[in-house]
Amino acid sequence: MAEQIWDSFARLNAGEHFKAQSAEMGAAATAAIVEACLTEDEVAPGMRVLDLACGSGEPSISLAVRLKDAGQVVGMDMAALPLEVARARAKNRGLDNVEYMQGDVHALPFADESFDRISSRLGVMFFGDLPKALREMRRVLKPGGRVALLAWGSMDQPYFDATIGTVRRMRPELEIPAAAQVMFKFGESGKLSGALRETGFSEAREDLRKLRWDWHGSAEEMWDYFRAITVPFMVLLEKVDGDAEVDAGVLSALGERWDGEGVRFEAEMVIATGVR
């Protein structure tokens, strides 16, 4: 069921319709995870990078650009439809050093010590068996290789307060779905780096970062996009679909952050790294 939701045409179509705004909104997060995974000074011939839960192509595309002719990126996701978009985007960029495949992070189809780096942007929160997934990552990393993971911080931050927070203030009987609560489990300081440490990674550390999360467009467009692509909140959002009062409340909250060109936020995200 989860794969079917993440693989939905509605979500994919929203992502494509708003792809410019979506890319701009996530640009700072992409840049942060790329830098944590592979600095320009570390690029060396023959490097291989694995990007897990790559969705429609980031940060695997940015990592491929950073590697240039020096190495190869493999992007993997459990959902097939976003991978088609990722392949098309890589082709449009003229990148031949990135490939995409469908797979499960809990059973990586790679030999031991296959990769120099592993990244995952906003995916680790949804790994069903985190210790098993981290053990698999460590298995396929070469000795001295690094994993870099980016996750949402606490739900108590402006982006979610203006959207889901507004919905719940207006409809307090609605509960946050369990799938959505999972999104914020690494908002607790030290939890993600602790998980890395417990599965054998050394030099495990994490940093809470405030990153630009700006929507270049109207509040109405941003709310449409949020409702279409934020899968973990779908069960809740379906209950207020067509609720004009709720829509007006959310648009008012988003409108407070409108500056004439876009809706501006800073997102709180956790970046954790560890070495095999």
**pLDDT tens for each residue of 92-111:** 999 999 999 999 999 999 99
Indicate the average pLDDT of the chain: 93
Nearest-angstrom CA–CA distance, 63 and 61? 5
Task: Answer yes or no: is pLDDT of 161 > 60.
Answer: yes
Task: Answer yes or no: is pLDDT of 227 > 60.
Answer: yes
Contact 240, 167 (CB under 8 A): yes
Task: Answer yes or no: is pLDDT of 57 > 60.
Answer: yes
Tokens of 145: 């290789």
Position 22 scores a pLDDT of: 87
Q: Give the number of residues written for the chain.
A: 276
CATH fold of 2-275 reads Rossmann fold (3.40.50)
Nearest-angstrom CA–CA distance, 14 and 234? 14
**pLDDT tens for each residue of 115-136:** 999 999 999 999 999 999 999 9
Query: What percent of the chain lies above the pLDDT cut of 90?
Result: 88
Which residues, other chains included, contact 64 with Cβ-Cβ below 8 Å and sequence gap of 6+? 73, 90, 95, 97, 98
Position 194 scores a pLDDT of: 98
pTM metric for this prediction: 0.92
Please report, for the chain, the start and end positions of each structural domain, with discontinuous segments joined by +: 2-275
**pLDDT tens for each residue of 199-226:** 999 999 999 999 999 999 999 999 999 9
pLDDT band of 229, cuts 50, 70, 90: confident
